[in-house]
Each structure stands twice: as structure tokens, then as C-alpha cells.
Structure 1
Amino acid sequence: MDLVDIDDLSVTDLGAVLDRAAELKAGSGPEAGTSAGQPLDGQTLAMIFEKPSTRTRVSFETGMTQLGGHAIFLGPDDIHLGHGEPIRDTARAVSRYADFIMARVFDHTDVEGLAEYATVPVVNGLTDDAHPCQTLADLLTVREKFGFDSHVAWVGDGNNVCQSFVLGAAMVGLDVTVATPEGYGIDDAVYERAAELGDPPERTTDPEAAVADADVVYTDVWVSMGQEDEREEKLRAFEGFQVTTELLGDRPLMHCLPAHRGEEVTDEALESDNAIVWDQAENRMHAQNGLLVWLAERS
């Protein structure tokens, strides 16, 4: 089985992955006094990176070490995905060496191609369309702190993180309101998928209306990697969508990081006691650990 999009998991599977992540988290770290064990002893994760990322690399690599396995970093200078060698050949070859493949790339179809031809589980570490690993971490964080009977307001761009999040939220029954400028909302196809999975998000162009009944506020960068040529246009379009301490109020703040302080969120809001972004960042590792162990247990 692969995780290319969050809804590749069934609702039952999603719950099982989150449960496994929580179990592994509870058994790890110095405060727990015990080891998480080594359920992936001797196994290897091949990590393909077209897009650099501090959190994705460190969380996967550290997680594999904790679980008794090993991670191999394959950056742009090590592998040229789809250039010089077809993706199907890369998938077949790497499958002979590694037990899992994680790919963080631009084009979503590249991960789909890896998943089609690999004979080991393929995990989407981020594409321009989706970020299911972030959604696992987000849902783990919300479940830990508030439960799924809460209401999350997304304020900002309807980007890949947002699109995966609304799908995952629909699967667990989490209420979401998405506030974006006109023309920057989630894709209609994603909205329709969310409606098929459960309750789709409410959509608005008014940030204040979005947060009015929210328990949590979530934001992300307005200018994603690869969109630098759209920067000035987006900064103008997103005027009024910055998460400030005034907009946040006493609500907790989530952000998938890295943050562009002074753009989508103020430094004051991110440094406030309301920010739970560091717990959220830590949960990337625990959620991914849960996913990898769950995938291994199914094979």
C-alpha cells in the first residue's frame, strides 16, 4: 500500500495509523523512560528530495533511527527523477534496495508514477498538490489537544497543505472553515472529494468570519517553494489575511512551518503562548513513524 494522498487511507486505516503514532510517541523520549523499540530493525527508507526541507528530512531520518532502521538521502545531485532515467525504472531499482520510498517533489504525478511501479510502499513527503504526512501530524496534534469535535479555521492560501488537511478533517469529522482570497481557494475537485468523505469545509473570503467560531487557527505560507515569481502578486492579494494576535485572540495557533514571519503570521503571534507549532512539528516524526510501522505491519 502507498500513501500518495491522505484519502488513500480508509477512515479505519487513518484511525489505526494515528493510534500507532500515539503508541510510539508514548513509548519514546526521555520523559517516557522507555524505548519505542525497533519495529523497523534492519529496514531502509530511501528519501528522494527535489524540494529541500528541514522538518521532512530530520523527522524521517530520526524516526527511522528510533525505529531501528536506516534512511538514505537522495537529493537533486544524487537522483534526477524522470530525467535521464524514467520514473518507472527508478521505482523498480530502488525497490530492490529499500523497504520504503519517500518522495518530496514538485509534480504530483511523479509520486503517482513511483507508486505505480515500486514494489515497496511509497510515501508522499510533499508535492505541489498534497502533503498527507503533514495532515497526519496535524490530526494527531488536534486529537491530542482538542479532540475531533473541535472547529479549525484555516486562514491563508488554499495550498497543498490546506487541501490535504480538509480531506483528512472530513475523514475524522473535524469541522473546518477555509478563508482565502478570491481565486486562491482549494480546488473544486478537492472540495468534492471532501464532501464524499464527510462534511466538506465551509469556504469564505473573510478571515474574521472564519475565526469567529473556531477553536484553533491554522495558517501557512502564502508563497510556496517554486512560486517565487508570484510573490509580489500574492502579497497584494493576501492583504488582510495575516494572522495577528488580534485575529488570533486566545485561540491556539497552528502552522506547518517554515513560517514567513511578517507575511502570513506576525512574529508576535508565532512567539505567543498560543502557538502550538512546535508540538505540531514534533508530531511530524511521530505520525510518520506510526505510518511506516503500520505499513510494515501490513506487508
Structure 2
Amino acid sequence: MKVKTKDLLTINELSKHELLEIIENAIKLKKDLKKGISKPLLKNKTLAMIFQKPSTRTRVSFETGMFQMGGHALNLSADDLQLKRGETIEDTAKTLSRYVDLIMARVYSHDEVEILAKNATVPVINGLSDSFHPCQILADLMTIKEKKKKLSGLKIAWIGDGNNVCNSMIYGCAKVSIDINIATPKGYEPNLNIIKESKKFIDIQLLGNPELAVKNADVVVTDTFVSIHHQATDRAKDFLPYFQVNSNLMKKANHDAIFLHCLPAKRGQEVTSEVLDGPQSVIWDEAENRLHAQKALMALLLQV
């Protein structure tokens, strides 16, 4: 039996070389696509996509990416699988491994994608869990590299909830030598073990003041306060108005700072429309880059 290649459950599983390879290859694949150059690197390959929750960018980028690279993607909701009727994740992983070349899963609990990976004999990609969102950070770092022409030596300001995307951003920054300031309300900090681990490689500041966090920042990032993981709609009261990214806050960052948001955005909450639609926003390039980063990731995991 062929030895299983690595999974991507967190950014930390990638070496710095692998991460940079994905980013550079993604940029190249994007340029090739604009020129009409097609590379069927994943011809005759099949991706199983398991979705426990709704998705726009993750589903469309993976499905389109497989199509553009000559492969095929299967969209499997929780209702489509025998998981709903009690089949174990272990048995599902072993079964799918006999049919497909890759599995991508968007799950509620990170434990579930870990169990899936442990029992699958094909690479497993975390398409989002309650703890991490590594695919988003691949696109974010690709976007930063496109706009800033470098990664090492930059400073990111994260404003808002220290959530799954923030955890992955910290790991990503540590891999490519980007310092990060994180401004969250008390009690909403990212995983402290991830911070402790990553502080060995970069400067990380945990702050309660967004204005201090954005000082000298090259990139300002936020995410929704109330995600699909949180049913309580009153969560936003802990963030507003202080942790909102608006034009006044952006002015306190570097004059050429760019703004990132993984989307979907709740306009008027974590960020104003003035910033989302403003000249410093690169959110649509960032969203598009999910497609190219996904393609480069799958090529790396399948060693093509």
C-alpha cells in the first residue's frame, strides 16, 4: 500500500519550505489561469468534500479548483452520508479512502477531523473546524505576498475575536516571520498554547486596545464576532463599538496598510462598509485566492 502523504489539519503541520512553496505555486497557477494556460495536474483524481455546515468560498474554491486541474469533486453534506445514521467517522474515513484521493472536511469539532485523518489512508484537509481554518491563512498569506511583495518583516494587527482563523493566522505568521498584534476583549483571546509556541519565532502582543494594535501595522485583519459556532446573538455586545474596524482605526495603521477579512462579513459590526469597500480593502482578491491556494495545496499533498 502506498504510504499516506501528510494531512493539513493546522498550518503548523507545514514546514516553512512547504508553506512558501504553496504560496509561490498558487501565485503561478493564478497567473497561468489569467493567461489561459491549463495544467491538469490532478487529472483522474477525486476529492471528497464533507460539509457539516454551510459554505460558499470553501466549497466553490475546492470544487472549481479540482475542475480546473482536471479532477473531480464530490460534495457530501452530513445528510448524504451514513454518518447521519450512526456510522462512525472511523468507518467513513476507511470507506472513502478506497474511493477517492483526497478528503476535505468542514466540521464543527476539530476532534472529528483529527479522527478522520487518523483513519484515512489518503490526505485529509481541514476545511474549517472550531479550532482552526488553515486553508484561509494560505489564501491570506498569498494575498499579502502579492500586495506587499514580501512576508518576512511585516506586522499584522488582528482586531476582534481570537477565533479559529486567528489561531491559524498566528501559526502562519510564525512560519514566515510576520509579527502580530492581537486586540481582543478580555476572555476572547486566541489559544494561549499556540501563542506560547509561536512566540519562539515571532513577536506577539496580546492587547486590549485596537488603536495600539494597529500602530505600524502593514496588514489589518478582522473576522465576524458571531460565527456559525456561536448561537448567542448577544455576543457582539462585548465587541462593539470598541473592536470595530472603521476608517478612523485604519488611519492609525501604516498609510499603505491593507485590510483583510475571510468573509462572510457582518457589515456594521466587526467592520464598516466604508472599510470593506474602501481603497485599502483587498477582500475580493483574498476571496479569489482561496481558489489558487487550494489548488496549490492539493498539488502538494498529492505530490504532483
Contact preservation (8 Å) 2:127, 2:134: yes
Contact preservation (8 Å) 1:18, 1:290: yes
C-alpha deviation, 1:11, in angstroms: 1.3
**TM-score (norm. length: structure 1):** 0.94
C-alpha deviation, 1:77, in angstroms: 1.4
> Match for residue 287 of structure 1?
293
Matches within 5 A, 1:184-263: 184-196=188-200, 198-229=201-232, 231-232=233-234, 234-239=235-240, 240-249=242-251, 250=255, 251-263=257-269
Residues 107-142 of structure 1 deviation map (CA, whole Å, 9 limit, x = unaligned): 001110111010110000000000000011111111
Matches within 5 A, 1:135-214: 135-146=137-148, 147-148=150-151, 149-196=153-200, 198-214=201-217
Residues 161-190 of structure 1 deviation map (CA, whole Å, 9 limit, x = unaligned): 011001110110011111101110111111
Amino acid at match of 1:99: D
**TM-score (norm. length: structure 2):** 0.93
SS state at 1:262 partner: coil
Matches within 5 A, 1:50-129: 50-79=52-81, 81=83, 84-129=86-131
Contact preservation (8 Å) 1:191, 1:200: no
Q: Aligned equivalents of 1:80 and 1:135: distance in 2? A: 31
Amino acid at match of 1:177: N
Amino acid at match of 2:294: Q
Q: Aligned equivalents of 2:246 and 2:19: distance in 1? A: 33
Contact preservation (8 Å) 2:45, 2:100: yes
Residue 275 (1) aligns with residue 281 (2): yes
- Of the three residues 2, 5, 8, the one matched with 1:3 is 8
**Pairwise CA RMSD of aligned residues?**
1.3
Percentage of identical aligned residues: 47
C-alpha deviation, 1:193, in angstroms: 2.4
- Of the three residues 35, 48, 51, the one matched with 1:49 is 51
Q: Aligned equivalents of 1:279 and 1:44: distance in 2? A: 27
C-alpha deviation, 1:195, in angstroms: 2.4
> Match for residue 20 of structure 1?
25
C-alpha deviation, 1:79, in angstroms: 2.1
Q: Aligned equivalents of 1:226 and 1:11: distance in 2? A: 30
Amino acid at match of 2:195: Y
